[in-house]
Copies of this chain bind each other. A is one copy, B any other.
Amino acid sequence: MNEAILRTLLEQVRSGELAVDGAVDRLRLMPLRDLGEAVLDTHRELRRGQPEVIYCAEKTVAQVRMIFAALLEGDSDILATRVPPAMAEALMADYPQIRHNPLARTLVIQRRERTLTETTIAIVTAGASDQSVAEEAAETARVFGNRTERINDVGVAGLHRLLARLDAIRSARVLIVVAGMEGALASVVAGLTARPVIAVPTSVGYGANFHGLSALLGMLTSCAGGVGVVNIDNGFGAACLASMINQL
């Protein structure tokens, strides 16, 4: 459409219908929106083939239903995150092809064949209570086309459990470390590998945990180099970043 306008204008210049000065003026006044989208689309282009993502936490079932319907007109995969149980049920009734991961609180509709990456994103958790966030990360990473490996329950108070998984840690191309409380696992893992570590503080804990603040600050001030931190409980964001890195 924009292109049509542009083409018409240029043809008018060529035909002499429009003077050069007039064309300069019109091009300068041409709404940025149109040019902007043209240019910026190269960006969207890059995303083509990636799943569409719906963050459901502050939406109603009706809103999410509407978005699903719209997205299903396209052909990309769909990932919905932070889906409350009731919303999940409602959507599964609508779309039997949905894959629901209740622990991760995700819904997935996979419509394309996807070859997983050769390289692996390792998802490391400190304790059983971090599983929900790790599962969100794992589900996201897989939907984005990455091979994943889970290394669970290797909190630093029992180092032998962590050291026992050293091979798995070292063979990953990028690692997501999910930990609550003092979040020390990120530092320890980063010290054991030369690969990028994405740290996800979780809100698991109580008292001086202050809803994840202790793990967040701990991870940000990690004494080990090479740790990037995402928001508290943000398994999805960690997987986004890890996927970008893994697919470089």
A interface vs B, CB < 8 Å? 3, 6-7, 10-11, 13-14, 16, 20-21, 23-24, 27-28, 31-44, 46-47, 53, 55, 57-59, 63, 126-129, 155-160, 163-167, 170, 173-174, 180-184, 187-188, 190-196, 198, 201, 203-234, 236-237, 240-241, 244-245, 248
Contacts and interface: CB of A to CB of B under 8 A. Distances in A.
A30 to B, nearest CB: 8
A79 to B, nearest CB: 11
Contacts of A182: 182-184, 187, 217-219, 221-223
B214 A227 contact: no
11 contacts: A32-B166, A40-B159, A47-B194, A57-B206, A63-B128, A156-B191, A181-B223, A201-B207, A214-B218, A228-B229, A228-B241
B163 A33 contact: yes
Contacts of A207: 201, 203, 211-212, 216, 220-221, 231-234
A159 to B, nearest CB: 6
Contacts of A24: 3, 6-7, 10
B223 A39 contact: no
Given A43-B193, A47-B194, A248-B248, A231 B221 contact: yes
Nearest to A241: B226
Chain A residues touching B, majority SS: helix
A38 B43 contact: no
A188 B209 CA distance: 18
Given A194-B244, A208-B220, 10 more contacts: A6-B24, A31-B164, A43-B170, A127-B223, A158-B191, A173-B248, A182-B182, A184-B218, A207-B212, A213-B217
Contact of A157 (B38, B126, B173, B191): B191
B28 A39 contact: yes
A209 B117 CA distance: 33
A196 B230 contact: no
A209 B204 contact: no
A15 to B, nearest CB: 9
A28 B225 CA distance: 26
Given A160-B36, A187-B182, A229-B229, A209 B205 contact: no
Contact of A206 (B127, B164, B231): B231
Nearest to A211: B207
